[in-house]
Structure 1
Amino acid sequence: MHAQNQSLLDALNACIAACEHCATACLQEEDVKMMAHCISLDRDCADICALTARLIARGSEHGQHLLRECAEVCKACGDECGQHTHMQHCKECAEACRRCEEACRASMAA
């Protein structure tokens, strides 16, 4: 596997883990309703990253098609979580989403 693909897969997998953790932690917050949009984006982001990772890992010609959508969802999730950086789980998720967005965009450009 090319080093670039491994770097992308690492970013995708880190983003999945951060988003899953964030969604679970948001469900434990006092005002869960306030976190509904964040939870929804966390779930969407984890799902698109997981699908993208699977297609990239197996060398599917369709993996490249998902990179743009994956980058867009990662950006949206990172922006939302970035509004809640007083919560450690949201801060970590925003950082992982931004790294993943950058990795997707770099892979698209390559």
Structure 2
Amino acid sequence: MSLEDLDDYLRSKGKNRFENPEQVAKTIQKAARSSYRLDKVVEDSIDTILATSITVIRTFEKRIKELGKSIKRIMAGMTQTLESVPGISPVFAAGIIAEIGQIERFEDETKIAKYAGLY
């Protein structure tokens, strides 16, 4: 594939998410030129491994998204002010709450800061 065609392909399929698609295209061409053809048996094995890995990654991504939605629903029912801090999402707030546990066990905010390693 010519550099221009590969560049266009990357822009199209990458939905313009590549910062420098021309450089990526050059890198892909260089890798293709320096590679060698695999034996059919090895190629089939690698294809199977890659397909399995992609399936596992997609499964994890789907589960993470589902867990994020569940955490958001749970956090919506909790009285807390952590999410009022810019940059703290419901998932991050849930992590902080889970790590601290019962806040009543701390005498004051300095004890929480010390527990968190901030003091």
- Give the TM bin, normalised by the shorter chain: under 0.3
Q: TM-score normalised to the size of structure 1? A: 0.25
Q: Which has the higher helix share?
A: 1
Larger Rg computed on CA atoms: 2
Q: TM-score normalised to the size of structure 2? A: 0.23
Between the two structures, name the one with larger relative contact order (CA 8 Å, sep ≥ 6).
1
